[in-house]
């Protein structure tokens, strides 16, 4: 197999950077920009985009290692990445708790908003649960999800030796079992009994991206019928979530109520999954038609952030919590909005540039960093 390094797929970096930006905005309570993120225009949101791209990127970053260097080497790379994610998760919680303590000193009960009051009430017990991933508050649930689904990559690569269809069958089968049993991991958080992103269900979206990158799924972007059906589903999704549309007629309001009466995001609702796939089909069709859009100057910051996903996600979550505290103290007026968003978005972009510079310096020193996933 050739050792030539393939160029990065700018589409992955751009859309992952865009998703990370939306995730930051969505986690700042009171942010006006939350009115223009994905979730306001359809059934799926930035989390769906992030998980799918994470699966696609994992196939590129780690899948080749299994084929080129052997199963053991691939497992070691996955294990190292999972350890990184685990450490980042614990550190992120520590940063969130520290910000809550600082906010409490200023008279703001931000711990209640984050749902981590149990940590301050019984820190020793909660830390034990946190280390075992048995305490997953809602605002700290993406990294544990990513860690668990990434740990399933060796299983997928082993099954693919028999036939890639077994990977797809197992992934769909696990999702169906969750649908039938409602099984989830215990979170011990006040928001609910299970993880906010059930890994046994969301692995379907992760491995959809993984299978697409490995070439185990057919390329359906050029199927005009499918593109048309996808566009129709996106239109229905827009009508279901937009008050300006579903408020126009009782039948549209019934559509809105039906969608949300059956929504089950923790277990990867099939309507949201289908909406994301429709969005991917239409978006990739548009990107194929107008490839220069991703080369434009406005796209470059998102590409830069998408290339440093873990750093940007971590920084974004910390700054989102800091921004929420700032809004609690200053209000959510125009000046506060400008200040918080400028600091937050500027901060995650700066973090991406710094991380990129450090990796380049490491590479020049003769110790190239592994491909990010």
Residues 282-293, mean pLDDT to the nearest whole number? 90
Structure confidence at residue 372 as a pLDDT band (50, 70, 90): low
In this prediction, residue 133 carries a pLDDT of 92
Residue 373 lies in a domain: no
Within a domain: 128: yes
The conformation of residue 284, written as its DSSP 8-state character, comes to H
Query: 367 lies in a domain?
Result: no
Residue 369 scores a pLDDT above 70: no
Q: What is the pLDDT of residue 333?
A: 97
Would you list the DSSP string of 126-153?
A: HHHHHHTT----GGG-HHHHHHHHHHTH
Domain count, the chain: 1
Measured CA to CA, the distance from residue 165 to residue 217 in angstroms comes to 9
Q: Nearest to residue 344, comparing CAs of 316, 313, 314, 304?
A: 316
* Chain segment 56-108, per-residue pLDDT in tens: 999 999 998 999 999 999 999 999 999 999 999 999 999 999 999 999 999 99
- Enter the tokens of residue 88: 């980042």
- Count CB-CB contacts under 10 A for residue 316: 25
Residue 186 is given by DSSP the state E
Question: Does residue 281 contact residue 221 with C-beta atoms inside 8 Å?
Answer: yes
Supply the pTM of this predicted model: 0.92
State the alpha helices, DSSP H only, in 59-198.
64-69, 71-105, 110-114, 117-121, 123-131, 142-151, 153-162, 164-181
116-121-126-130 Cα dihedral, nearest 10 degrees = 20
Question: What is the DSSP secondary structure assignment for residue 60, as one 8-state letter?
Answer: I
Asked, for residue 98, whether it belongs to a domain, the answer is yes
C-beta separation of 237 from 224 below 8 A: no
**Does the residue 116 lie in any domain?**
yes
| Pick from 76-80, 161-165, 272-276, 367-371: least confident | 367-371
The better pLDDT of the pair 213, 194 is held by: 213
β-pairing, 192-194 vs 186-189, is antiparallel
Which of the four pLDDT bands, split at 50, 70 and 90, describes residue 254?
confident
Q: Write down the number of H helices and E strands in the chain.
A: 18, 2
Average pLDDT value for the chain: 91
* Residue 364, in any domain of the structure: no
279 CB burial (10 A radius; 0-12, 13-18, 19+): buried
Does residue 369 fall inside a structural domain? no
Residue 253's pLDDT is 87
Quick one: what percent of the chain has pLDDT higher than 70?
95
* pLDDT tops 80 at residue 193: no
Average pLDDT over residues 297-325: 96
pLDDT band per the 50, 70, 90 thresholds, residue 2 = very low
Better-predicted residue by pLDDT, 249 or 90: 90
Q: Is the per-residue pLDDT at 1 higher than 50?
A: no
pLDDT at 368 over 60: no
Question: Predicted confidence band at 262 (pLDDT cuts at 50, 70, 90)?
Answer: confident
Coil vs helix vs strand at 37: coil
Domain that holds residue 152: 10-358
97 within 8 A of 83, measured Cβ to Cβ: no
């Amino acid at each position: 197999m050739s050792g030539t390094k393939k160029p990065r797929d700018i589409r992955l970096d751009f859309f992952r950077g865009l998703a990370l930006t939306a995730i930051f905005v969505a986690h700042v309570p009171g942010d006006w920009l939350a009115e223009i993120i994905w979730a306001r225009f359809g059934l799926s949101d930035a989390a769906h985009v992030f998980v799918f791209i994470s699966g696609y990127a994992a196939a590129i970053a780690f899948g080749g290692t299994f084929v080129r260097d052997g199963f053991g080497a691939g497992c070691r790379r996955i294990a190292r990445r999972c350890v990184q994610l685990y450490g980042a998760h614990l550190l992120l919680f520590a940063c969130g708790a520290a910000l809550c303590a600082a906010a409490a000193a200023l008279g703001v009960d931000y711990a209640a908003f984050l749902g981590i009051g149990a940590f301050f009430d019984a820190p020793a017990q909660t830390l034990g649960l946190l280390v075992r991933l048995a305490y997953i508050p809602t605002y700290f649930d993406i990294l544990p999800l990513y860690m668990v689904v990434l740990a399933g990559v060796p299983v997928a690569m082993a099954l693919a030796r028999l036939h890639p269809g077994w990977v797809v069958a197992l992934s769909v089968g696990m999702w169906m079992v969750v649908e039938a049993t409602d099984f989830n991991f215990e979170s011990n958080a006040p928001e609910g009994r299970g993880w906010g992103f059930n890994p046994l269900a969301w692995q379907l979206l992760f491995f959809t991206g993984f299978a697409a990158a490995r070439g185990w799924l057919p390329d359906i972007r050029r199927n005009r019928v499918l593109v048309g059906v996808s566009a129709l589903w996106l239109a229905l999704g827009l009508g279901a979530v937009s008050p300006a549309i579903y408020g126009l007629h009782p039948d549209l309001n019934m559509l809105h109520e039906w969608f949300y009466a059956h929504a089950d995001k923790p277990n990867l609702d099939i309507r949201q999954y289908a909406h994301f796939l429709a969005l991917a089909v239409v978006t990739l069709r548009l990107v194929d038609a107008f490839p220069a859009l991703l080369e434009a100057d406005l796209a470059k910051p998102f590409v830069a952030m998408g290339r440093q996903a873990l750093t940007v996600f971590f920084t974004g979550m910390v700054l989102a919590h800091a921004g929420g505290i700032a809004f609690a103290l200053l209000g959510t007026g125009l000046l506060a909005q400008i200040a918080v968003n400028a600091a937050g978005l500027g901060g995650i972009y700066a973090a991406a540039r710094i991380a990129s510079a450090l990796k380049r310096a490491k590479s020049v020193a003769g110790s190239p960093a592994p491909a990010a996933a």
